[in-house]
Amino acid sequence: MHKPLTLVALAVAALLPLIGLPPYWITLTNYIGLSSLVALGLILLTGVGGLTSFGQAAFVGLGAYATAVLSMQYGLSPWLGLLAGLFVTICSATLIGLITMRMSGHYLPLATIAWSLSLYFTFGNLDFVGKYDGMSGLPSISLFGFVFDSARSMFYLIWGFVLLAVVALRNLLNSRPGRAIRALKGGGLMAEAMGVNTARMKIVIFVFAAVLACISGWLYAHLQRSVNPSPFGLNYGIEYLFMAVIGGIGHIWGALLGAGILTVLKDVLPIVLPKLFGTSGNFEAIVFGVLMVVVLQYAPDGVWPRLRRFFPQSAPLPAPVDAPALPVRPRQTVGELVLDVQDARKTFGGLVAVNDVSFHVRAGEIVGLIGPNGAGKSTTFNLITGLLSATSGKITYCSEEISRLSSRQIAARGIARTFQHVQLLPTMSVLENVAIGAHMRGDHAPQRGIAAAVLRLNGAEERKLLHEAARQLERVGLQDCMYMEAGSLALGQQRILEIARALCCDPALLLLDEPAAGLRFQEKQALAALLTQLKSEGMSILLVEHDMDFVMNLTDRLVVMEFGTKIAEGLPVEIQNNPAVLEAYLGGID
Ligand code: ADP
Ligand code: MG
């Protein structure tokens, strides 16, 4: 959003309690702020990262109970209560994350449900926290002598934290770890191939969301001056999720909007409905449920995307004009053995997708891997890049066996790839998509830098990474599309984007899976020129491609596969006249 407009909005918001807003609205706004904090965490966790948690209310409870126990029973400052709550939250969220993140599918949602239920009953059954009655008489929070003992003063504290959370989240998302987090959705295979430790990133966002929930609980406890288990049960966990979904789970402002809509509805419906129906009863639950279904049906992305166009849009991250170059890995000397695939085999149940295939690639060589559809070419790529592990055989890269390494470790050694089915983030700018490729080349260790990103201490790193991304886009001829959404590019251009992203990894070996598919003639010529240029710089390239003219003119050597088996290998001219290849590949046409 534009800065002046944001400032005006902030000033107006800050004045609200002072211009005589009725206490009812102040209280309601406070509760919206408390829920916004939790929903903001869910934007990151569920909306951006694609992980679902029903257990956020339990983390709210941890924050509330930690400060209640410390301040009531030990007479300690609420700020120490906050620290204790954060400590317990971070530990428990990390533990839950470690246990569930490596398992795919429904383990995290189920674990958060179990966590939520067990914590609720723990609070309800522990004597020293007052069982189901809870504790009351908590002290107010004070800061530098100022005591937050009224709803109006708490307004500033609560919304101060919401503001901090919004800024922190925006900073995080517009950073190197943020781009890695955004790449988690859709399985994270691409992210791993770019060197992202997706399991760790998932734990990071789970902890981040839990921390926001914990802060909300801490504020809640000192606003209410009492705690009891009921606001921290599973139903509230579900409600927080609803807030994020209704507001717009992919958008930061969606959290605030969703929290606002649900909090107001929850407050207004029980008053309005009985009057409307002329009889008392719990209609709100029914109306609420119906409303949810209607919104999800007609605005599955939430309400915010519908309102968004009425607000000024934030511009995409700009490419810096100049920045120091990123470090470059040493290249092999031309002719040196780079990749050696020996008897690689991959079976899927009874299907032998890759049948004891052997070949090699030398530095500065372009090798084509060709064969009819289903021959096992992409599977071979997946074996080399560690996306799949070979059933048997040995793959060596620069004298090091890489057969058992993860795709992240292989990427770190200098093998970058593109995908036959393009894997990019359609709503992210082309520039930022390409910058994901430079994930491993930041100032911090690849998986760190979260704190630096949140605090915006990553300016120098960002400039270098985005400059590198812009440089690679220029190299592949996509510089004019830099600020477009990646999803708006033609398919051929999306493939070229993937090449730029792979080049951002600073690879020594580049694996391209059908890069020319969908390209027009001139674009193919430009791509061939680019690959020839890369080769002259000492890059080794392994290429899967169906366009025979393209392959024959470009490659130094060809490996031909059919039904998982290598049936020929040689110079393009030899392959063109190889009877076995003609029989298999061209269907026997002479
Ligand atoms: P190509 O890229 O040469 O067209 P692929 O490597 O994609 O071929 O596929 C080779 C064979 O392996 C095909 O028969 C395909 O159906 C099968 N295959 C590929 N991936 C999987 C998988 N994950 N599970 C089961 N079968 C697979
Ligand atoms: Mg394929």
Cα 378 to ligand 2 centre (Å): 4
The finding on whether 377 has its CB within 6 A of some atom of ligand 1 is yes
The C-alpha atoms of residue 167 and residue 157 are separated, in whole angstroms, by 15
Instruction: Please give the mean pLDDT across all residues of the chain.
Output: 91
Q: Is the pLDDT of residue 431 over 60?
A: yes
- Rounded to a whole number of angstroms, the CA Rg of the chain reads 28
The mean-pLDDT minimum among 153-162, 271-280, 300-309 falls in 271-280
Minimum CA distance residue for ligand 1 atom 1: 374
Q: Is residue 589 very low, low, confident or very high in pLDDT (cuts 50, 70, 90)?
A: very low
DSSP code at position 329 = P
C-alpha dihedral sign at 414, 420, 422, 423: negative
The finding on whether 373 has its CB within 6 A of some atom of ligand 1 is yes
Minimum CA distance residue for ligand 1 atom 22: 348
The C-alpha atoms of residue 112 and residue 467 are separated, in whole angstroms, by 40
Minimum CA distance residue for ligand 1 atom 13: 374
Minimum CA distance residue for ligand 1 atom 26: 348
Q: Which atom of ligand 1 is nearest to the CA of 379?
A: 6
**pLDDT tens digit string along 48-63?**
999 999 999 999 999 9
Q: Which one of 345, 354, 370, 379 would you pick to mutate in the ligand 1 pocket, going by the greatest count of ligand atoms within 8 A of its CB?
A: 379
Q: Is residue 585 very low, low, confident or very high in pLDDT (cuts 50, 70, 90)?
A: low
Ordered by start, the domain boundaries in the chain are 30-234, 337-426+491-586
* CB-CB contact of 98 with 219 (8 Å): no
Helices 23-42 and 198-224 cross at an angle (nearest 10°) of 160
pLDDT of residue 590: 43
Q: Which atom of ligand 1 is nearest to the CA of 388?
A: 23
76 Cβ contact list (under 8 Å, min separation 6)? 70
In the chain, what are the helix, strand and coil shares in percent, each to the nearest 5?
60, 15, 30
The finding on whether 348 has its CB within 6 A of some atom of ligand 1 is yes
The finding on whether 378 has its CB within 6 A of some atom of ligand 1 is yes
Residues with Cβ–ion distance below 5 A, ligand 2: 378, 420
pLDDT of residue 295: 83
Minimum CA distance residue for ligand 1 atom 25: 348
* CB-CB contact of 48 with 250 (8 Å): yes
The C-alpha atoms of residue 434 and residue 64 are separated, in whole angstroms, by 42
**pLDDT tens digit string along 444-484?**
766 568 888 999 988 889 999 999 999 999 999 999 999 99
Minimum CA distance residue for ligand 1 atom 19: 379
Q: Is residue 587 very low, low, confident or very high in pLDDT (cuts 50, 70, 90)?
A: low
The finding on whether 346 has its CB within 6 A of some atom of ligand 1 is no
- The whole-number average pLDDT for the span 18-28 is 83
**pLDDT tens digit string along 326-369?**
888 888 888 899 999 999 999 999 999 999 999 999 999 999 99
* CB-CB contact of 223 with 161 (8 Å): no
CATH architecture type of domain 337-426+491-586: 3-Layer(aba) Sandwich (3.40)
For residue 245, the SS3 value is: helix
